[in-house]
Amino acid sequence: MEAFSDGVFAVAITLLVFNLKVPDMSSGHLGRELGHQWPSYLAYVISFFSIGICWVNHHSILDRVAMADRELLFINLGLLLGIVSIPFTTSLGAVWYKDGNDGKLAVGIYCLNWVYVSLTYMVLIRHLMGHAHLSANATGVTLQSLQRKGFIGISAYAIATVLSLFLPVLAFLVCLILAMYYVFGVEDEVIREVA
């Protein structure tokens, strides 16, 4: 399952580039057009680092699995479904974010996409903790630590979803801060294994 998951993550993160549109030559001034696209650039960077970090954690967990079962397979596909949807919801949020109620809906959907990813990620960890499929290099302590961080993720993305109903831009920023938090807060032992 791991090579396939790695491939899906790599393609999904690269497809984010389609959120950056080359302005049409008939649109007049390039500088102004590119300036208007700043939400797309911000959303691109946020989603890029979020997917990147998500991959690191996902890869690290799958590395610890000694034997898969039917439920794990299903949960993992469910998680990948969420990741593959990110380029779409990123574009949705970046294009519509400032359009009144529609903008709140669009950014809300983006945040909900991450709530969904965090949830399936959490389900994955819980499933592994409840069943003894782990290889020798997996300690209960590490899983509990991952679970704690996963819980922080769900909570933060849920707060971002609520915020998007009032201040869509602020919700984007919460997602950015969360990505940064994960980049600097990933467990040392996770990183060591991934490298």
Query: Could you list the residues that contact a second copy (CB under 8 A)?
Result: 1, 3-4, 6-17, 20, 22, 25, 29-31, 34, 45, 48-49, 52-53, 55-56, 59, 65-70, 72-74, 77, 80-81, 84-85, 87-88, 91-92, 95-96, 99, 102, 105-106, 109, 183-184, 186, 188, 191-192, 194-195
* CB closer to a second copy, 136 vs 195: 195
**Which tokens sit at 30?**
């390039």
Nearest distance from C-beta of residue 79 to a second copy, angstroms: 11
* CB closer to a second copy, 102 vs 170: 102
Nearest distance from C-beta of residue 189 to a second copy, angstroms: 11
CA atoms within 13 A on the CB side of 39: 19
Nearest distance from C-beta of residue 55 to a second copy, angstroms: 6
* CB closer to a second copy, 48 vs 114: 48
Evaluate the CA torsion angle 37, 98, 87, 193 in order and state its sign.
positive
**Which tokens sit at 57?**
């954690």
Identify the DSSP state of 187: -
* CB closer to a second copy, 68 vs 141: 68
Put residue 167 in one of left, alpha, beta given phi > 0 → left and psi -120 to 50 → alpha: beta
Our measurement of the distance from residue 80's CA atom to the centroid of its chain's CA atoms, rounded to an integer in Å, reads: 10
Nearest distance from C-beta of residue 167 to a second copy, angstroms: 17
**Which tokens sit at 19?**
């959120």
Nearest distance from C-beta of residue 166 to a second copy, angstroms: 17
Helix, strand, coil shares of the chain as percentages rounded to 5? 85, 0, 15
* CB closer to a second copy, 107 vs 122: 107
Nearest distance from C-beta of residue 112 to a second copy, angstroms: 12
CA atoms of 161 and 43, how far apart (whole Å): 15
Our measurement of the distance from residue 190's CA atom to the centroid of its chain's CA atoms, rounded to an integer in Å, reads: 18
* CB closer to a second copy, 67 vs 141: 67
